[in-house]
Structure 1
Amino acid sequence: MMLEVVPEWMTNLDDEDISFIKKFIMASGSLKEVANQYCVTYPTVRLRLDRLIQKIKISEDNANEPYVALIKRLAINEKIDFDTAKILISEYKKIRKEGK
């Protein structure tokens, strides 16, 4: 029996993200085809893919800077606006730099 290891970047994805990835792969990476499957426009699917890419990048940041990853995740999920996220991250980095 083989133990399945889930990559760290996949642990932060929800079921909708996994479904989107599957449809994207099954459509041979065609965003136009995925847009047709979801009955939405190409730009809508492109935005969804960009957010998914950001989620994956955040999981890479999470190990080094969990606070920064949290702020980015809140911005991506539209819990806080992008400008607020930038301010919080900038201030956090200033405080960390001063503490060293």
Structure 2
Amino acid sequence: MSIEVVPEWMLGLDDEDVSFMKNFIMASGSLKEIARQYSVTYPTVRLKLDRLIQKIQISEDTSSEPYIALIKRMAINEKIDFDTAKILISEYKKLKKGG
């Protein structure tokens, strides 16, 4: 009996992200093929891949700065806009420094 260990960076991904990753791998990393499969444009697929990359990068921030990682995740998932995220992160950093 083996215990499956999910890497930390995968915990923040939703089912759609995992499905996209699988399809991307099965398409040998061809963004053009993924665009064809999803019936979307190449730039749309590129944006999806960029957001997935950002989600993975953010997961690395989580252990040291969970609040900042949360704000970044919210911005990537379009729950808040990037300008608001920048303000929240900036104010949080000021508070941490004591001023």
Q: Normalization by structure 2: what TM-score?
A: 0.96
Partner of 1:46: 46
Provide structure 2 residue ranges, at least 5 long, that are not aligned to the other structure: none
Aligned to 2:15: 15
- CA distance in 1 between counterparts of 2:74 and 2:7 reads 22
Over the matched positions of the two proteins, sequence identity in percent amounts to 80
Which letter does structure 2 place at the counterpart of 1:88? L
CA RMSD in angstroms comes to 1.0
- CA-CA distance at 1:98 after TM superposition: 2.1
In structure 1, distance between residues paired with 2:95 and 2:19? 40
How far apart are residue 2 of structure 1 and its match? 1.4
**Counterpart for residue 4 of structure 1:** 4
More helix per residue: 1 or 2? 1
Aligned position for 1:85: 85
Structure 2 counterpart of 1:94? 94
Q: Deviations along 1:15-61, whole A, 9 cap, x unmatched?
A: 10000000000011010100000000000000000000111111111
Q: Which residue identity does 1:77 align to in structure 2?
A: N
Q: Where has structure 1 moved over 2 Å in runs of 4 or more? A: none
SS in 2 for 1:64: coil
| Equivalent residue pairs, number | 99
